[in-house]
Chain A
Amino acid sequence: MDKQRRKFLTIAGASVLAGIGAPAIIKLTSSDAVASSGGHEAAAGHGAAPAAAGHGAEAPQGVRLGMVIDMRKMADLPGQLDGAIAACIKTHNIPEFPDTKNEIKWLWKAPFENVFLDHSSYHSSKRVATTPFPALCNHCDDPPCVRACPTKATFRIPQNGIVAMDFHRCIGCRFCMAACPYGARSFNWQDPRPYIKKYNADFPSRMKGVVEKCNFCGERLALGQEPACVEACKGTGAITFGDLNDPKSEVRQVLDSEFTIQRKTNLGTKPSVFYIV
């Protein structure tokens, strides 16, 4: 099982690189991806039909990475969200500014009433009222930020559904920040490098004047690793990560058995992050 998951993550990650990198990699990956869907017979069976049928409303075919966050388990171990955030900061060279004005946030904490504006927080249970909720990019299936970007510097990777950024193409117009209904995007108002506490040479730091956000750890997936926040919560089941379109995936098994909610579904963005409250 674990080996299979590792293989899946590698494929999902390699397709991240394919989205950003050289055409040679794309070729390599697409053949890999075909091989992988051969592994799951059910998925391969689905694969043929949609090409003719065109766009489905929700649940399009192919790999769509997503996440389920179990707030019951988050509440059981209050420190683990902080651990996940710290891991995210360390992995991605996220600068830590002393003020909120310059703040760069990929994964952060906020109260339920702020994260779930569409859900009533009137007399919510004590656990919901007191447990901080993680907020991050929802890697929407229909992302408004991608629609708004005038340079395709932010784009949805068709092979795995990750909404990614090209920091070198971004012109810093911040249209995506106005467009994102989840407040998931941050802008480098100044050179972030002096505020990076511990530099991780495996991931690039950013320059001033570009937007950034959570990338579902595409660079780690390419190496067969799990996203940093998922790894930080390993063993507790607080965060489950995987392919939402694969009925056999762990994340789908959680979704099939639990009632989950998503943020601002009425906006039609089709978020890929689910919460068990």
Chain B
Amino acid sequence: MIEKTLKGKPAYWIWLAFLGMFMAIGAACYLRQYNFGLGMTGMSRDVSWGLYISQFTFLVGVAAGGVMLVLPYYIHDYKEFGRITILGEFLAISAIVMCMLFIMADLGQPMRALNVILHPTPNSMLFYDMCVLCGYLFLNILCGWIILTAERKQVHPPKWIYFFVYLSIPFAVSIHTVTAMLYCGLPGRHFWLSAIIAPRFLASAFAAGPALIILCCIILKRVAGFDAGRKAMNKLVTIIIYAALLNMFFVGLEFFVGYYSNIPGHKFALEYLFFGIEHHGHVYNNLVPFMWAFVILAFGAIGLLASPLAKREDDFFLGVGCAMLFLAFWLDKGIGFVLGGFVPNPLHEIVEYIPTANELGVTAGVWATGFFVLTLLYKIAVGVEHEIE
């Protein structure tokens, strides 16, 4: 099936070249970082995780979001998702590839990465995160490939594969739960020390992941003549709206706990993120615009997706709504959550983080790599669909 990636219209090749350019920039930036050290980034002693880890956290959610197609199709036999389930599985693969690249980019000593396997440490959440991420990647490759091959041959997939399909559902939940546990088990980081982190991660994942899938479907319909079907889209929109509302509800709960209890530690990071903080005569508010953009975009997107506009035939408002929602939750989890947790530092000092150009280059390179992989996988999936027709 891989041969399908080698034939395409000029637009396909231009798109791949466009992504390839960013991949090259990212590789060059990474090389500089590799030689000099992570001092090439904006991270510091006080904000010791930056864009890389926050992108990783967000993308784990995107990967887990694919389960919102797998679950209705395989468990509830919701036939409308039959054509697009493979898109969810392939999105998960490329998202995990990005996750792994971001982790590697973030390591101070990447050549020692295998120490995690050579010296397995079951008390570290990072160890489990590696296990579930690798497991989920493997499951998606296996299930996606076997089922697509069966589809191509127009036979039923072998029975044994369903074991792995069903297994991938708890795995999807586990990857984001364990990622949340990286944060919510750390004493002394009040913003993260909250039992709602894992549910909140899952809710935003189940909105952002399917939102990206809808966007992909809209694009595939225009450029590749692949129609996911109106009914499937509408059902996905319903899932997205509920998941997005849940996420906003959970964010609201964080506010309640912080402000009603009036415990400074619980309030501080929220205040910093949403209102800015004055500390020793200096105002720290770098992230305030991002956080309000998140709130406005999220509610705007929910409103738009819930309105009849999103059901129009031309898909314009559906696309805008999904893009807004994806961006909103990226701002929430891919920017605010990780960076906000480092303010204040354990000695109650405030240090703000601003990524460097080199860091942005690496980040763009990893995203481009992910979309490169995604493009190739979707080319295969769509190619097989066309072949059957």
Residues of B within 8 A of A28 (CB): none
Give the contacts of B143-192 with A (CB-CB under 8 A): 182-183, 186-189
Determine if B186 and A187 form an interchain contact, defined as CB atoms under 8 angstroms apart: no
Is A277 close to B, CB under 8 A? no
Is B121 close to A, CB under 8 A? yes
Tally of chain A residues near chain B (CB < 8 A): 50
- Residue from the list A104, A209, A264 in contact with B107, Cβ < 8 A: A209
Determine if B348 and A151 form an interchain contact, defined as CB atoms under 8 angstroms apart: no
Is A190 close to B, CB under 8 A? yes
A129 CB, nearest partner CB in chain B, Å:
15
Interface string of A162-176 (1 = CB under 8 A from B): 000000011111110
Determine if A103 and B36 form an interchain contact, defined as CB atoms under 8 angstroms apart: no
A181-B187, A190-B36 known; A171 vs B116 contact (CB < 8 Å): yes
How distant is the Cα of A171 from the Cα of B111 in the complex, in angstroms? 8
Determine if B45 and A187 form an interchain contact, defined as CB atoms under 8 angstroms apart: yes
A146 CB, nearest partner CB in chain B, Å:
8
Residues of A within 8 A of B189 (CB): 178, 181
Closest A residue to B342 by beta carbon equals A178
Is B108 close to A, CB under 8 A? yes
Beyond the given A174-B48, A180-B188, A209-B107, please list 17 additional residue pairs across the A-B interface where CB-CB is below 8 A: A100-B44, A101-B44, A114-B348, A147-B123, A149-B124, A150-B116, A170-B112, A171-B116, A173-B103, A174-B108, A178-B183, A180-B346, A183-B346, A189-B44, A208-B37, A210-B109, A211-B108
- Residue from the list A114, A144, A173, A189 in contact with B186, Cβ < 8 A: A144
How distant is the Cα of A178 from the Cα of B116 in the complex, in angstroms? 18
Give the contacts of B185-205 with A (CB-CB under 8 A): 186-189
Prevailing SS type, chain B contact patch: loop
Is A110 close to B, CB under 8 A? yes
Residues of A within 8 A of B187 (CB): 144, 179, 181, 267-269
How distant is the Cα of A237 from the Cα of B165 in the complex, in angstroms? 67
Interface string of B99-121 (1 = CB under 8 A from A): 00001001111101101101101
How distant is the Cα of A129 from the Cα of B347 in the complex, in angstroms? 16
Determine if B48 and A187 form an interchain contact, defined as CB atoms under 8 angstroms apart: yes
How distant is the Cα of A79 from the Cα of B167 in the complex, in angstroms? 64
Determine if A267 and B188 form an interchain contact, defined as CB atoms under 8 angstroms apart: yes
Contacts across chains A and B counted by CB atoms under 8 Å = 143
Determine if A148 and B186 form an interchain contact, defined as CB atoms under 8 angstroms apart: yes
Interface string of B40-71 (1 = CB under 8 A from A): 01011110110000000000000000000000
Residues of B within 8 A of A101 (CB): 39, 44-45
Residues of A within 8 A of B115 (CB): 150-151, 153, 169, 171
- Residue from the list A153, A172, A264 in contact with B38, Cβ < 8 A: A172
Which of A105, A183, A268 is most buried by chain B, counting CB atoms within 10 A of its CB?
A183
Is A229 close to B, CB under 8 A? no
Tally of chain B residues near chain A (CB < 8 A): 44
Determine if A172 and B43 form an interchain contact, defined as CB atoms under 8 angstroms apart: no
Residues of B within 8 A of A181 (CB): 187-189, 346
Residues of B within 8 A of A115 (CB): 347
Q: List 20 contacting pairs A-B, 8 Å CB cutoff, sorted by A.
A: A114-B347, A148-B125, A149-B124, A151-B112, A151-B121, A171-B109, A171-B115, A173-B106, A174-B108, A177-B45, A179-B187, A183-B45, A183-B347, A187-B38, A189-B39, A190-B39, A208-B36, A208-B38, A209-B37, A209-B109
Residues of A within 8 A of B116 (CB): 150-151, 171
Determine if A113 and B348 form an interchain contact, defined as CB atoms under 8 angstroms apart: yes
Is A152 close to B, CB under 8 A? yes
Residues of B within 8 A of A190 (CB): 36-39
Determine if B108 and A150 form an interchain contact, defined as CB atoms under 8 angstroms apart: no
Residues of A within 8 A of B41 (CB): 189
Residues of A within 8 A of B238 (CB): none
A135 CB, nearest partner CB in chain B, Å:
7
Listed from nearest, the 4 A-B pairs whose CB atoms lie closest are A172-B108, A181-B188, A209-B108, A189-B39
Is A49 close to B, CB under 8 A? no
Determine if B119 and A114 form an interchain contact, defined as CB atoms under 8 angstroms apart: no
Is A182 close to B, CB under 8 A? yes
Is A76 close to B, CB under 8 A? no
A172-B109, A173-B126 known; A135 vs B347 contact (CB < 8 Å): yes
Is B349 close to A, CB under 8 A? yes
Is B127 close to A, CB under 8 A? yes
Residues of A within 8 A of B182 (CB): 175
- Residue from the list B43, B110, B126, B346 in contact with A182, Cβ < 8 A: B346
Is B345 close to A, CB under 8 A? yes
Determine if B345 and A183 form an interchain contact, defined as CB atoms under 8 angstroms apart: yes
A113-B348, A181-B187, A209-B37 known; A172 vs B107 contact (CB < 8 Å): yes
How distant is the Cα of A145 from the Cα of B261 in the complex, in angstroms? 29
Residues of B within 8 A of A173 (CB): 103, 106-108, 126
Residues of B within 8 A of A37 (CB): none
How distant is the Cα of A174 from the Cα of B106 in the complex, in angstroms? 9
Residues of B within 8 A of A225 (CB): none
Give the contacts of A88-116 with B (CB-CB under 8 A): 100-105, 110, 113-115
How distant is the Cα of A146 from the Cα of B119 in the complex, in angstroms? 13
